[in-house]
A and B are shown apart, each in its own frame.
Chain A
Amino acid sequence: MATQHSRSAARLMMAPAVVLLLGWMLVPLIMTVFFSFKKYLPLRGDKLSDGLEWVGFLNYERFISSGSFWPSVQTTLVIVVSVLVITVTLGILLALLLDQPMWGQGVVRILVIAPFFVMPTVSALVWKNMFMDPINGILAHLWMFFGAEPVLWLSQASVPSIILIVSWQWLPFATLILLTAIQSLDGEQLEASEMDGAPKLKRFWHIVLPHLSRAITIVILIQTIFILSIFAEIFVTTGGAFGTKTLTYLIFQRVLDSQNVGLGSAGGVYAIILANIVAIFLMRIVGKNLDN
């Protein structure tokens, strides 16, 4: 009887969160899908109230066949994969280092984690001006110190520059999570293998890395979802010029700059599908964890 009562109370308590999230997900999603099948150019006088012209899959075809689509997909993939490789590799090394006995470990941890708390517009601007500026930037000074010609980072090496900025922001995240995972490693197991005289590299390969595999997978999935939709880092630095237009940025330009809502919405649907493919894998892992 009590359980019956508490069950209905529980449902009631869950209702606001569920209803709000359901609305937040469904209403804009349905609108995006709806617009994607319509010709909708608000600046040319298309009005929602007049009804919009149904164009079938035309927007989907045009979005893919436009000259900027494949380059944007390529840029997106290059950025995501590079950042993942950099942050996961360096993250593992850093986590291993931070796990060692040392003086001032807490302070080092703080130094390493700090970039994650810097708002994206600040890190983009600081890198753009104070580091990558071809005349006054630190990197220019460094290059000249070694007698090299300063690089015009954001035009000549635009994609690597974005990768550098984004990696700097996400390395702390990878390091922190991998460090947490390493610290939960069973000390006895490691000691036993140490007693057996297993060489360090072997120990890392056969004990530490397998133990980290789940944390690494989670880092990869979560970062992928966030990095697929980086925005401020490009908005502030290149504004999508010099080959830095990602899929997210392309859709943003279609929708808000050129106000081609139908076309942008079709792009949005592609982005949603892409993110969902990644999300399915993440959900599997998180779901498995819930069972334990």
Chain B
Amino acid sequence: MARAVTNQRKATNTLFAWAIGLLIFFPILWTILTSFKTEAQAINDPPIFFFFDWTLENYAAVMERSDYAKFLWNSIIIAVGSTILGVIIAVPAAWSMAFVPSKRTKDILLWMLSTKMLPAVGVLYPIYLIFIGLGILDSRLGLVVVLMLINLPIIVWMLYTYFKEIPVDILEAARMDGASLRDEIIHVLTPMAIPGIASTVLLNIILAWNEAFWTLNLTAAKAAPLTAFIASYSSPEGLFFAKLSAASTMAIAPILIMGWFSQKQLVRGLTFGAVK
């Protein structure tokens, strides 16, 4: 008897949740579906949902037309490069804050967080000038550096919260056995820290991949990543729904897949450990 009621409630929940979930997901689903239609079917009245002639021609057209590979390559280099560089700089910092905390550790962490709050537009022109001065405007190197710097506070914070969870006793035991600082890091700490570092890398690649202020304002033809490639479709001549959808699908697919694996890390990373 009781079970029947529960099952009924469960069914209602399921129905509601799926309906809302599909509604929220619909724009993405629609984009993916449209990317497989012909241009004529894409603007058919009434809209066609599933029963159209599935085609890959839009993907072929996008690849051919706009040198898609170059934008993709830029995105990969910028997202992965900035994340790796950030992690290399952040690991020692987070390590020392987690294991050799001083009175000022908390202040330093909060100060790092505060640099993240600086509105980008407030420093746009100085960065622009510095980039021209250094000759790195519209270069991948420039964007790798800028995105590394904007995400560095998040990387340090995430690593710090992960390192904090590693028991100090183990380090002390290693120290007693005469392990040097280097041994300690390489043989004891690293194996335990790898899951945390991996999560940090994942979340930061996502954030860097989707960053759309600096990537739009500091690039032109050479270093433009996918964010800028998509933005170029906003001009009227680029207004083809099916091709736009194919380009969009290609730009978001890798990150959607990665994102699904990083839900937990997302909460921790974006709330700076305040919600776990």
Contact = CB atoms under 8 A, between A and B. Distances in A.
Nearest to A25: B115
B172 to A, nearest CB: 10
Interface stretch (A13-21, A55-63, A190-198): A13-21
A104 B124 contact: no
Contacts, number: 304
A20 B27 contact: no
Interface stretch (A77-85, A202-210, A251-259): A251-259
Q: Most chain-B CB neighbours within 10 Å: which of A17, A110, A116?
A: A17
B170 interface: no
Contacts of A225: 117
B121 A248 contact: yes
A97 interface: yes
Contacts of B248: 122, 125-126
Interface string A127-151: 1111100001010010001000000
Contacts of A25: 115, 118
A115 B121 contact: no
Contacts of A29: 118, 122-123, 126
B191 interface: no
Nearest to A108: B21
A225 B194 CA distance: 31
A17 B122 contact: no
B267 to A, nearest CB: 5
B74 interface: no
A228 to B, nearest CB: 7
Interface stretch (B52-60, B102-110, B136-144): B102-110
Contact of A171 (B24, B28, B99): B24
A49 to B, nearest CB: 11
A14 to B, nearest CB: 5
A218 interface: yes
A98 interface: yes
A104 B14 contact: yes
Contacts of B152: 17, 20-21
B13 interface: yes
Contact of B92 (A16, A103, A136): A16
Instruction: Select the residue from A20, A109, A111 with max chain B CB neighbours within 10 A.
Output: A111
B271 interface: yes
B119 interface: yes
A117 B43 contact: no
B18 interface: yes
Nearest to A278: B117
Given A14-B96, A136-B43, A232 B124 contact: no
B270 A222 contact: yes
A214 B109 CA distance: 20
A159 interface: no
Given A20-B152, A29-B123, A101-B6, A141 B47 contact: yes
A67 B217 CA distance: 26
B223 interface: no
Given A24-B149, A251-B122, A130 B266 contact: no
Nearest to A144: B45
B84 interface: no
A272 B233 CA distance: 32
Contacts of A282: 113, 117
Nearest to A11: B96
Given A21-B152, A286-B113, A112 B118 contact: no
A94 B23 CA distance: 12
Contacts of B27: 115, 123, 126-127, 130-131, 168
Nearest to B6: A101
Nearest to A283: B110
B250 to A, nearest CB: 10
Contact of B108 (A14, A97, A172, A279): A14
Interface string B119-154: 111111111111000000000000000000100110
Contacts of B9: 100-101
B82 interface: no
Contact of B119 (A17, A20, A136, A268): A268
Contacts of A136: 43, 45, 241
A272 B115 contact: no
B46 A141 contact: yes
Interface string A148-190: 0000000000000000000010011100110011001000000
A268 B121 contact: yes
Contacts of B21: 107-109, 111-112
Query: Which of B100, B102, B106 has the most chain A CB atoms closer than 10 A to its own CB?
Result: B100
B125 A97 contact: no
A1 interface: no
Given A3-B100, A32-B126, 13 more contacts: A2-B175, A16-B93, A97-B20, A112-B25, A117-B259, A118-B28, A119-B252, A120-B212, A120-B227, A121-B216, A121-B231, A125-B244, A180-B267
Question: Shortest 5 CB-CB distances between A and B: which pairs?
Answer: A268-B122, A10-B96, A13-B92, A117-B259, A28-B123
